[in-house]
Amino acid sequence: MEIYKGEKKREYLKKNSIAHLFSFSIEEFVEVREYQRDEWIIQEGTRPNFLFYVIEGKAKIYVTHQNGKVSLINMIKANDYIGEMELLNEEYYTKGIQASTKTICFALPFHCYREKLLEDVIFLRELTKFLSVKATHMAEKYSQSLAFPLENRLADFILQTSDEEIYKEKHVTVCDYLGVSYRHLLYVLAQFCDEGYLQKEGRHYRIKQYSALNELAEMLKNT
């Protein structure tokens, strides 16, 4: 993890200003942080000390069940918050957040901003919108599992989790997240390779036709 300082920090604050999300200035204590692919932004069960706002990149949310099984439960993208539930709730079991690509975030330290954030009408209004969209997305994901074939849902998943044309998620994780059998997943991946959408390279896949995958994924968004 790298923390931007000086001019580099000022450039990011200017280029990606989120001043409109607050009624007070955040520039004095906010940090600009960069995480590399597979680096943990938050370790599961470890309460974060920051509210994060994602500027660039993608991340994944994991939870470990009582039986030891680890499940991918959601994805994070640019303009999403991380740590909002810990801001709102004194007692909350923190999920693990892992970067899928190089990810750059603004990080607002709770010890400086918690009281102001919880009293800021502008911020709370924006946070409410975010949480509403997040809840709707989770409901849509469940309905899509019933309404759409794996081809559409896998295409969308590949585009969400790929990094610089490379897709390399573990099959077991994908099966659990999409609610499909291992055999069915391998069949559709092989189908994508036969169609020329993907090219298998060792243990990962290279995306060859973004437009074809995007066309399949877009069908989910038109519901």
Domain extent listing, the chain: 2-128, 146-221
pLDDT for 118-161, tens place per residue? 999 999 999 999 999 988 887 777 777 668 899 999 999 999 99
Contact assessment for residue 4 and residue 33, using Cβ atoms and an 8 Å cutoff: yes
Which two tokens mark 24?
């007070």
Residues 6+ apart with CB under 8 A from 137: 74
pLDDT in the model for residue 215: 94
Q: What is the DSSP letter of 94?
A: P
Q: Selecting from 1.10.10.10, 3.40.50.2300, 3.40.50.740, 3.40.50.970, what CATH number does the domain 146-221 have?
A: 1.10.10.10
pLDDT in the model for residue 93: 82
pLDDT in the model for residue 53: 97
pLDDT at 60 over 60: yes
* Cα–Cα distance measured from residue 126 to residue 179, given in angstroms and rounded to the nearest whole number: 32
Q: How confident is the model at residue 222 (pLDDT cuts 50, 70, 90)?
A: low
Mean pLDDT of the chain: 91
Contact assessment for residue 86 and residue 92, using Cβ atoms and an 8 Å cutoff: yes
Give, in words, the CATH class of 2-128. mainly beta
